[in-house]
Amino acid sequence: MATKVLPPKQLQNLRFFITRSLNTSSSSSKTTSAVSPLNLAEKPETPIQEPPTIIQDHAKPPILDFNDHQTLFSNFPTTKLLRASSNLHMVSIGPLVDFGMRVMNSRIMETDNIVRDVVLEAVRHTFYNHFCAGEDVVEARRCIERVNEAGLRVMLDFAVEYTSNNDACDHNLKGFLDSVQSAMSLPPSSVSSVVAKVTAMLPLSLLERVSDLLRWQQRDPSFNLPWKQNSFPVFSESSPLYHTLEKPDPLTPQEEIDLQSGQERLWKLCEKCVQANIPLTVDAEHISVQPAIDYLTYLTAIKHGKNGSPIVYNTIQAYLKDAKERLLLATKAADEMGIPMGFKLVRGAYMSSERKIASSLGYESPIHNSIQETHACYNDCAAFMLENIANSSNAVILATHNVESGRLAATKTIELGIEKRNRKLEFAQLYGMSDALSFGLRNAGFLVSKYTPYGPIQMVIPYLLRRAEENRGLLSSSTIDRDLMRKELKRRLKAAIF
């Protein structure tokens, strides 16, 4: 096999990542913050997380201050603070979460019955109200207004996830379009982006087929895909290809029609976002379908992103071993084509299932081997994107619940001279999670959004199950919030008594 020689510019970018890895891996190994997604899309492997200790330097105050819980939660009425603390405490009780997940995944929830109704009502008044904005755009609007009053913005997510037929895809598109229309009726900048899942606009089986074909072409570049258009790279040399072990059949004529229909749905949604001047953020999924999602997302960016600022954000999951390389290749291709591109950086959403699939097929896991490696990868990607946006028209959403990652990115932003309110940089956390980090970043002057899903409770169940899983136990990413909320509640109680 011939040795590939990388262009000088790409070698320079690779040297950046190597240097960053050496600099951050040691600091990341000392960090005990938890991993968390914005995807919303995660089932992280979380180490013990202690409340952040800020060493006060009177000559130079800390960029992010978590010591003043009174200021952090000044926008929280006591009743809301009490409910939030109670909900986060409940999802930290492992046996309770395990029992709840077994019930939600049981046959009881598949048919109408009294037990199912009782369970749904209990979920509605606890976890659903804590992690979701409401059942429809009307309820979501009221939630958005409350978030805005707290000095934060909203990434608005119509939380439908998967579909199996074209009629459902058309119905889901209407839901996404309604999200954009609702965002248009709000004050400017209330909504930082509208979130969509490609798996809700194309049948899952078709995305699997397209991903298989793209993987086979990566194995064999002579493999012809007549429907494929010019896009950014969706693989690197290290990307896993084990999902496709045999040469797949070409798309049937009907599958090609369905692919074109799905692509047009995504384009129609993006056109609505262009009209509203609100970016579209596309969520990531399992790597079995991610190649097709990346391909369609980049096609959409190429078609609609030529007006100076990104209108499309693709999601990069840093827990994947090939994440840095794919990010580098995509940004390089976007810069060469003159396409402003946005990226949302998360840690990852499907760690357990990805490892199980790889193991069952006899392959190495595509996930980093340790939490420290995932931290280092995320921080490297964040540093790379910050340097990139300082000198390009690209943009980045740093979606993290990890306090150390937030601190490092905030420090890097200041070092690079990027204005804190620069629209090319947004920090983000899930609605109902990591409020201390959100308010800490807000107080430091940065733009911060809450990823805010809405939809009927039955539709949002998969999302709620992921939130319950990542908050379970004493090692969860909500440890800091629970600790600071308890301190603030104690302070308010003492103030009321004395």
pLDDT in tens, 255-285: 999 999 999 999 999 999 999 999 999 999 9
Supply the mean pLDDT for the chain: 86
Which residues touch 106 (CB under 8 Å, ≥6 apart)?
none
Which residue type does 268 have? K
Q: Output the pLDDT for position 14.
A: 44
Which residues touch 258 (CB under 8 Å, ≥6 apart)?
166, 202, 203, 206
pTM of the model: 0.85
Task: Compute the half-sphere exposure of residue 261: CA atoms within 13 Å on the CB side of its CA.
Answer: 18
User: How far is C-alpha 287 from the chain's CA centre?
Assistant: 15
CB 75 within 8 A of CB 69: no
Is the pLDDT score of 408 beyond 70?
yes
Between 371 and 31, name the one with better pLDDT: 371
Confidence category of residue 455, pLDDT binned at 50, 70, 90: very high
Give the percent of the chain with pLDDT over 90: 65
Sketch out the chain's domains with CATH numbers: 69-497 (3.20.20.220)
DSSP state of 367: B
Confidence category of residue 57, pLDDT binned at 50, 70, 90: very low
pLDDT in tens, 17-34: 444 443 443 444 333 333
Is the pLDDT score of 208 beyond 50?
yes
pLDDT in tens, 301-357: 999 987 788 999 999 999 999 999 999 999 999 999 999 999 999 998 788 889 999
- Output the 3-class SS for 275-333: HHCCCEEECCCCCCCHHHHHHHHHHHHHHHCCCCCCCEEEEEECCECCHHHHHHHHHHH
Question: Three-state SS for 448?
Answer: strand
Q: Output the pLDDT for position 53.
A: 42
How far is the C-alpha of 436 from the C-alpha of 427, rounded, in Å?
A: 13
Q: Output the pLDDT for position 237.
A: 95
Q: Output the pLDDT for position 308.
A: 81
